Amino acid sequence: MLITEEQKRRYTAFWNREPLDRACLYLTSWDGSAPFRAPKDPEEQWGDLAFREEQIVYNTLHTQFHAEGFPSIFTNFGPGSLAACIGGSYKFAPATVWFENEPFFAADWETRPPVKLDRESKMFRMIEEMTSRELRHKDLFITSISDIGGTYDVVASLRGTQNLLYDMYDDPEEVKKLRDEIAPIWKEYYLEYSSLLLREQGCMSSWQPIWSDKSYYPLQCDYSAMISPDMFREFVLPDLREQTEYMDRSIYHLDGPGEIPHIDLILSLPRLSAIQWVSGAGNAPNTDPCWFDLLRRIQKAGKGVILLEVDPAELETLFKNISQRGLYICANVRDAQEAREVVEMAKKLNF
């Protein structure tokens, strides 16, 4: 069994923000085996699907899962891979996949081509095949949906970020028209893959390893760090509201201090389930006390809080200051003993 009934109960409590004896804790450790061999180059790392399948199976077999940890595999083709399925370019790099390399159109709006979901594009076919390969291992792990990216992040990939910043001032209606063409493509892709995963597995996961027996997705607009709250209200908020309406559950990926000015608008979304806070490179960790007021603000608004890549050493201070109701923590621990210590500490400090 990949996930127990007790784990399901705790995930359901997290989604519903029901009080339990502690937070939802996704804890993992490595069993001490040698790591899987490094890829020869970025092309093998991202585009060699047989290599990736072998790597995934090996890593799953040698990972230990504790508390609410369960084997969840991220179908990873970079952040915002949808852009490359509708005409955008991409470039494999050692740590990521870059999508804003050659803007889909950089000239004036009158000459831009229409956008459509290209099921024959190399990116779409890679995602389709990788998902199929992963679903063959339903006895070993749960397969996630790929990272589609936020609608406006896809727009930025197609147009170029700097161009789009000017466009929002100079040609706002054209920007909205492009968004209105991408939004139904985003929805089509999302509903197709979320339905597939729910049908094949009875549940779904995402790049955030959170179990759900209903449809969900981490929504985002990383681009919004460069625009004002007024522009966020005009351009981004209607898009987010629309997406939350056709999902059973939803998360917002709040990426860094630059997005904090939009927090009240994000919290106003009635169907939003939770917010994942990321403090960003060069800033204090996402569990640092300097962010506690922000986390309490999210909780006071009735939303769950998600913190990934947490250092277990920082959890005691966090648990003493933040309610564990509707709180999800993802952390790597040394071993099963440290996992038990984290669980007991969470119970002891719950309020």
pLDDT on residue 277: 98
CATH dotted code for 5-348: 3.20.20.210
pLDDT on residue 318: 98
Handedness of CA 241, 114, 101, 126 (dihedral sign): positive
Contact predicate 310/319, CB 8 Å: no
What Å distances lie between residue 143 and 137, 201, 324, CA to CA?
Answer: 9, 8, 27
What Å distances lie between residue 206 and 190, 226, 227, 258, 340, CA to CA?
Answer: 11, 26, 27, 24, 26
pLDDT on residue 197: 98
pLDDT on residue 266: 98
Quick one: CA torsion of 258, 259, 265, 266, rounded to 10 degrees? -170
Buried b / exposed e across 106-134, counting CB within 10 Å, b at 16+? eeeeeebeebebeeebebbebbbebbebb
pLDDT digits (tens), the chain, 351 positions: 899 999 999 999 999 999 999 999 999 999 999 999 999 999 999 999 999 999 999 999 999 999 999 999 999 999 999 999 998 899 999 999 999 767 777 678 888 888 999 999 999 999 999 999 999 999 999 999 999 999 999 999 999 898 999 999 999 999 999 999 999 999 999 999 999 999 999 999 999 999 999 999 999 999 999 999 999 999 999 999 999 999 999 999 999 999 999 999 999 999 999 999 999 999 999 999 999 999 999 999 999 999 999 999 999 999 999 999 999 999 999 999 999 999 999 999 999
Question: What are the structural domain ranges in the chain?
Answer: 5-348
pLDDT on residue 100: 77
Contact predicate 312/331, CB 8 Å: yes
pLDDT on residue 194: 98
Number of neighbours of residue 79 by Cβ within 10 angstroms:
21
Q: What is the DSSP string of 67-102?
A: ET---EE---S-TTGGGGGTT---EE-SS-EE--SS
**Gyration radius from the chain CA atoms:** 20
pLDDT on residue 217: 98
